[in-house]
Every structure is written in C-alpha cells, then in structure tokens.
Structure 1
Amino acid sequence: MNETEPLTSSDAPTETDTERLRELLAGELERVRARSFALTTRVLDEDELVKQHSRLMSPLVWDLAHVGNYEELWLLRAAVGVAPMRPEIDHLYNAFEHPRAERPSLPLLDPTEAEDYIGLVRRKVLDSLASVRFSPDKPLLADGFVYRMVIQHEHQHDETMLATHQLRRGEPVLLGTDPPPVPRVTAPTPAEVLVEAGEFVMGTSTDPWAYDNERPAHVVNLPAFWIDTTPVCNAEYVAFVEDGGYDNPRWWSPAGWEWRQRSNKRTPAFWLRSDGEWFRRRFGRVEPLPMDEPVQHVCWYEAEAYARWAGKRLPTEQEWEKAASWDPVRKVKYRYPWGDEQAGAEHANLGQVRLQPTPVGSFPRGASPVGALQMVGDVWEWTSTSFTGYPGFRAFPYREYSEVFFGSKYKVLRGGSWATDPTACRTTFRNWDFPIRRQIFVGFRCARDA
C-alpha cells in the first residue's frame, strides 16, 4: 500500500454513501468513548486512576489521555490539518518514548485534565467530520480508514484497561450486567475437525477496517490437518497441572523450561487452590474455577507445553485462519467464521457483554464452515507463528503499528476475546505479544497433522 493506492474502489462515494459513513463513524466514536469512561472515571477515584497497578501496565489515566492524544494526531492533525492543541504533551503519550514501567513518574494530565482534553478533541473531531471528504485518492481518508483505525485503537486500549482491572487489588468495581443466555450445542460434537488440504485466501485487500498487517490477501496452500473443535477448557488444563505438567521438562521447549524455572509458575495466572479445590480471582472476586470455560491467562510457553503433553501442537497462524474463515465447498473466505454477517449475540462472546468466557461448545451459530466453534471471542488463541508481514506487505500509515514488531520475539494471537469489541475482531485480525505474557485474556486450542 502506498500513497497512490486507494484502499477501496476508485469510484467516488455518493453523497448518500458519505452521510451514511459519517453517521457510522460518529456513532462508533461515541460508543467507544462511553466504554472508555466506564472503565476509568466512572468507576474509580483519582488515586486509583493515577496508580500503577502493575509494572506490566500503564496507569489508567495514561491510557485515557493517550487515546485522546492519538485521536488528535490522526483525526485532527493528519486527516484535516488542524494545528496541534497540546504539542507539549505528545511525548508523554508516545508509547515508544516511555515504557510502561516509567509512565507513573511522568507529569501526566490528572483525571480531570485528561477528561477535559479528550472531550475537547472529540468535539473538534465531530465538528470536522461533518465536512470531511472520504476521497478514494487519499488513502488515509478513503472509506474512512483513519477513523476506523482510531476507533479500533481505543477499543484495543479498553481491552488493555480491562487487563489492568484484572491486575488491580482492592474493592471490585466491575460488577457486570445480566448478559443474554448463552446458546449451547445440544448434540455431541467431535473433539477435532478435519481441515482438508488445499489452497485458501489468507488476509484481505478490501476490508475497510483492516490494518496493514492483515494485507494483502494472498493464496496459501496447506496440507490437511486436524484442529480442536473448541478451545482447551479449564478441566483439561487442570489434568495437565495435576499430572505434574509443570514439573516435567519433557513437555517444555528449552526456552519454555527456562521461563518455568525462572518464574516458578505452576498454574495459569490468577488460579488458586484450597482444600483440594480450584478457584480463580476475577476482577477482585475469588470464585470456583468454572471447569467448562476455556482456560485463559496462560502464556505461549504454557500453551506449547500443554499441547505437547496432549500429543498435539499449536496451530500455525495459517492453519488457524483457514479453519476459521475458509469455506471449502464454496471456495470463499468469510470475514467471520459464520459468514460476513456482523457479529451478534447469537454468534460469539464479544464486546465485554460478559466479564468472562462462556463454556466450550457455545454459539453453534458461530461455527466455522469446517465446524470449529468459538474461534472468534471468548479467549485470544496462541498460534505457533512468529509475527511478520505478509508477502507484499507495506506499512501504512506508520511503521510503529506493525512493522517494528516483526521478528521472532513476538507470537501471533488470533480470534479476539470476550473483552474484544466486534469492530476490532475478524478472521483476518492479527494480535501479537511476547511468549511470556499472561495478563491478557488468552487461551489456545491444539492442532495436529492429518
């Protein structure tokens, strides 16, 4: 992708198309901001907002001001040419200039200042949105790309803030709501599904929400493989723990065993055991471990070790996407496992509707064409693949979103979690993290050669 290559069709949008797009973007901007406030200034006092609850995470007030600063940079300065509002704070909220561990020592905006600042940015954005032209010959604006990028960025930070809430100590503040019933599979399901050998289309060249690392679409040919129908559940992982899985180097890679010994971990994060029973801590509450939910808060090394113990392996990123998105009968690729229809309550556990995963075997209407369940939502899923660009990759609109992370240090995660908003989740969406990370809402499923 380059400055002369439009993201979508070169046909100019009609005025009706433009108005519909403006309404969509304005609505999504307001929806994500309401979510950000619900995780910060609406539930926590100033001391809790400025405190660093873990060295792995930023103070919540940093995240709040950061999403506003990012919005100003892209939707005011870059998109419409508005002069900088607070250029003196740019460096404070540059994620590459200050690592998380040192952010509490910076002269950050306090919660009131942060809320005032991002509110002013938002008002200017909405004012300018009324007249902006989504010209197809301007890649940043074509089909509202830069607005979609900013919306997804804030949702991603909201998920990060949920991870901070999980790490914080103190009185619970996320109480949850009464979610809709969980649709469950009623007939017995196989433990694995077969994905036949052959070609499929990986990535996308047309999705207006897609980031640069999802592009371009390209054909991949894979041998046949089996993949678990559902993510590995807590009961299955308990069996690994109780079989001494954390004490047997046979199941661990050399790097994984070094991490296990150095960290002294013997269970997923937030697990507890008392009087022979398993419990977990979830957003400040201790509760019995739900054995039928997907395991979460496991690092890549733990997932890899479990898979080897089970006689399997982690799927490659290519295998995961084919199992999630490719219809082998129609020879077409879907945006979601169930098709191109927008995610609904009947399809997947997304969007913080619940504050936890749903039991394995949920959402039969969300099954992929090969019959795999819950490939979107519930928990992010580790793959065996290191993060890099696709053939023909071009960074857009800035290298620091994806390209600077390419290499063997980061492993790819797929599928989103219960905390991921549907606008930031699709079968082509790629997440990545260090293989030691456990505070994120991540699990896995296994695969094996056919």
Structure 2
Amino acid sequence: THTPASAAALLDCLPGEAAAALEHLRVTGLLVPAGVGRYAFPNDLREAAVKGGLTTGVLPAPATGDPPVWAHRVHLAGLAHWYLGSLYRVNLPLALPAVVRNRYHAGVDRFPRGRLFTSPSESLPWADEELEGVLALAGQLASPAFDTGDELAGRPLSAFAAEAARALETYFGIRFAWRAQRRLNGLALMVAERTGDEYSRAAALVQLGKVHGRRGEGDRGVELLTRGIDLFRALGEDLEAVAASSALVACLAISGRIELAVRVGERAMEEANRPGLEALRTMVLNNLGRCRMLLGEWEEAHRLLTESYTGARLPHGRTTAAGALAGYHLRVGEYTEAVRWAERALAHSAEQPFDPVMVAEQRHALAAALRGMGETRRARIEETQAEALLADLNRREDTDVRLPASPGACVDHGSREGDGNGDTGRRNSPGADCGRGFDGT
C-alpha cells in the first residue's frame, strides 16, 4: 500500500502532488482505497504485475542478477530513508531507557526525513499499518544487487532490513509481533552474513534469540543470544552485550537452567552498575528474583524483587517488578498483598502501551488472588479480560497463547506453527513454574 507521504518519498515529489496522482490512479481504477489516505493495487492487477516482472510498488524490478538501474536505486533509497526516519521516530513518544532512547535519536539524526509523532497512540498504529510495506521493501532490498553503494547513510541499501529491525525492536516487544520480528531479522541476518557485516549479524542474532524467549523456547533462545553476545564482545561492543544479558538470563531460566541463569545474572549485575544502565539493572534484578523463587529461596527473592521495583523509573520496569511481586505473594499465599501488587502492576502498564501477554498474566494473577480471598465474581471479570487480550493476540499472530489452568502456573506459549515433527513450540521446564514474567525478551 501507499500513502501520499510514502509515494512522495518514493518519487521525490511534494506530498500534495503525490496525493493528487494517487487519487487520479484511484479514479481510473488502477488503485483501490485501502484505508483512510491509503491506496493499493487491486488483486488482479497485482497478480498481473508480478507475472509481468513488476514489484507490488510503483517501480519495475530489475531482472534477477542484473544491477538495478540508477533511477531505480534513487527512488528506492528515497523510500528507504523516509521509512527509517519514520520508524525511528515511532519510539520518540515512548518512555524508554537512556541507552535505547539514545539509539533511536541517533537513528533520527541519520535519517532526518519521515513522519512526526506526538504520542504512542499515534505512532504505534501507524507502524501497524506500515509494517507489511516495510517487510516488503526489506525483502526487495535484501537482494545481492543492493550490496554495494552507500545510499543508506553510508551503508548499502541491502542494510535496510538491519536498520528497520533496530528501529522496530521496542515496537515488536510492545505488540508481541514475533512473526514480523523473526521475518525482518531473518532478512537482516542473511544480508549480514553475505556482506560480512558483523555488527548487524550480532544484532539480528540477539533479536532472534529474544523471539524464541518470548515464545517460551528457551534452549534456542540461549543458543542465539549467546552467539550474538559473544560476537558483540568480540567487536568491543560491551554495552550491547550487557544490554542483551537480561534476555539470556530469562532464556536460561525458561529452559530450566536456573543455577546458570543466576550466575549469568549476577555477572550482568556487576556490569549494569555503570551509569545509564539503571533500567537494565532493574530487569536483571527482576529475573534474579524470579530465579530465586524457582529455587525456593523466598526471602532472597522478595529482597531482589523489592529492590527491582524501588529502582525502577520507567513504566516497563515498574510494571514487570510489581507483577513479579504479585506473583511472589500469590505463591506464598498472601492474597491481599498479591491483589495490591497486581493492581499496581496494571496501573503501571496503563501508563503507556504494553505487551498484551504480560498484561494478561497480571490480570490472571489478580484473578487468582481474588479467588484466594473468596471474591469469585471479581476474579471472573479479570479472567475474562485476560482471555480477551490473548484471543486478540492469537488472532493477529496466529499463535496459541493460553492462560494456565491453575493459579501460579505458567502461561502456555504454544504456537499453531510447528517444526514439522509435531512440536508446536510448547516447552515444559522448571522455569515454567514462574510464568512468562522473565524480563528482557
């Protein structure tokens, strides 16, 4: 699909001129409306274009293996710049850790063209609508024909997938959009391995590891995250390596390697004491606290989780820490405290858009605590809201995330997508006893 803004970026003209051209094409039947201010080719015309060797965008695609013509590259570069500038700006209205916020501001500096957003309620729906277009452009530019040149702020156009993946990392977490994240980072990894771009390879490996962690596939997550972290270390990118360590702790715990997760987390804590990594410290504390719960070390678990909440300054950290404390009190049978912390977690999660699975788990924990207090009607209301969140997610992502059957058990992160051997992605491990609430993925 195209909007006047994206068409203007592609054709290097004014948005008003692009809007007039798109409307003319709509009147003539060459385009159809695809939402407010959005246009697409009709299905029959799209199929004919593909058979005729055209892209689904505006410009003809070069034959496979042929170098793209200069004009084609110029137009694609304009569209890529506009998309990346907009994608990095999607994050600016969000409350984010300093390290992450600085990364996104640096992206805006490198790609100054693009949409401006004033709130998450404006930026995130825009990203929802544009995601398929971003993926399509990333697939087109991942061709070896675009491995040379420096049109993308000093990088070749084939680096578009890597740039877009970095710009969308927070978005992917908020939307739980693991399919798109896997697809985009798969393209980024393919290009990075072909071109020898080790930094982009490490970044893609880390994001792919997080995808598996988010889906409850701890072993695969550990493998990919370890490769990515080791590569960042080899490149001297210690900050990136430390930032990925919380996800590694989570995946180790999910896979049942609790003692190793604790050791990795304690090493990460030492590195996270440097300035600017306060948000990472709260994440690692949260994960260590959950690990201590799994080991039955209740007093130490409570100390770590309380320290995590006390040190949290952003909605994400406050939400996950409060949710972890709700889980702690639920597991030790302190239902009144569990209700208090679950309600606090939900209040924090309302401060900005949040991962729907985490919110569903908080509502489920609240429901379990309410049942423990004998408040069955209120508990059922919370369960219904949690189920509605997961139903919406399952429709969107074609996955099968379900609430646990018993209080305090894990959320089932099965997927309808298997591995061909009957494996639907579900994992049973000691880490499951603590729910999905490990942070960093």
TM range (shorter): under 0.3
TM-score by length of 2: 0.27
Which protein has the larger Cα radius of gyration, Structure 1 or Structure 2?
Answer: 2
TM-score by length of 1: 0.27
Give the structure, 1 or 2, with the largest relative contact order (CA under 8 Å, sep 6 or more): 1
- Kindly indicate which of the two structures has a greater share of residues assigned to strand: 1
